[in-house]
Amino acid sequence: MKTQKVVTLTQFISEQQELNPAATGNLTRIFQDIILAAKIVNRDVRKAGLVDILGTHGTTNIQGEEVKKLDVMANEEFIAALSLGGDCCAIISEENEEIIRVPNSNRASSKYIVAMDPLDGSSNIDVNASIGTIFSIFSRISPVSTDVTLEDCLQKGRNQIAAGYIIYGSSTMLVYTTGQGVNGFTLDSSIGEFCLSHPNITIPKNGSIYSINEGNSIEFSDALNTYISYCKESDKASNRPYSARYIGSFIADFHRNLLKGGIFIYPATLSSPNGKLRLMYECNPLAFIVEQAGGKANNGTTNIMDIIPKQLHQRVPLFIGSENMVNKAEEICSAKPL
Binding site for Mg ion (CB under 5 A): 117, 120
**Contact between residue 62 and residue 55 where contact means Cβ atoms under 8 Å apart:** yes
My answer on whether omega of the bond before 118 falls inside 30° of 0, hence cis, is: no
**With binding defined as CB under 6 A, does residue 248 bind ligand AHM?**
yes
Instruction: Provide the minimum distance between the beta carbon of 130 and ligand AHM in the complex, in angstroms, as a whole number.
Output: 10
Instruction: Provide the minimum distance between the beta carbon of 94 and Mg ion in the complex, in angstroms, as a whole number.
Output: 5
Nearer to Mg ion, 9 or 251 (CB): 251
**Using the rule CB under 6 A, which residue among 105, 249, 284, 322 binds ligand AHM?**
249
Instruction: Provide the minimum distance between the beta carbon of 264 and ligand AHM in the complex, in angstroms, as a whole number.
Output: 8
Contact region with ligand AHM (CB under 6 A), list: 13-21, 115-123, 178-186, 312-320: 115-123
Tell how strand 112-120 and strand 88-93 pair up: parallel
59-88 residues near ligand AHM, rule: CB under 6 A: none
Contact region with ligand AHM (CB under 6 A), list: 48-56, 146-154, 163-171, 246-254: 246-254
Q: Distance between CA atoms of 54 and 127, rounded to whole angstroms? A: 17
DSSP-assigned states of every residue in 37-95: HHHHHHHHHHTGGGHHHH--TTSB-TTSPBPPPHHHHHHHHHHHHHHHHSSEEEEEETT
**Using the rule CB under 6 A, which residue among 78, 112, 250, 319 binds ligand AHM?**
250
Nearer to ligand AHM, 12 or 254 (CB): 254
Nearer to ligand AHM, 94 or 152 (CB): 94
Residue 248 interacting partner from Mg ion, ligand AHM, none (CB closer than 5 to 8 Å by kind): ligand AHM
Cα distances (Å, whole numbers) of residue 134 to 93, 144, 171, 272, 284: 10, 25, 16, 23, 10
Please, what's the largest Cα pairwise distance for the chain?
A: 62
Contact region with ligand AHM (CB under 6 A), list: 16-24, 151-159, 199-207, 247-255: 247-255
Tell how strand 296-298 and strand 88-93 pair up: unpaired
Burial of residue 192, with CB atoms counted within 10 A of its CB: 0-12 exposed, 13-18 middle, 19 or more buried: exposed
Residue 192 interacting partner from Mg ion, ligand AHM, none (CB closer than 5 to 8 Å by kind): none
Query: By CB under 6 A, how many residues form the interface with ligand AHM?
Result: 10
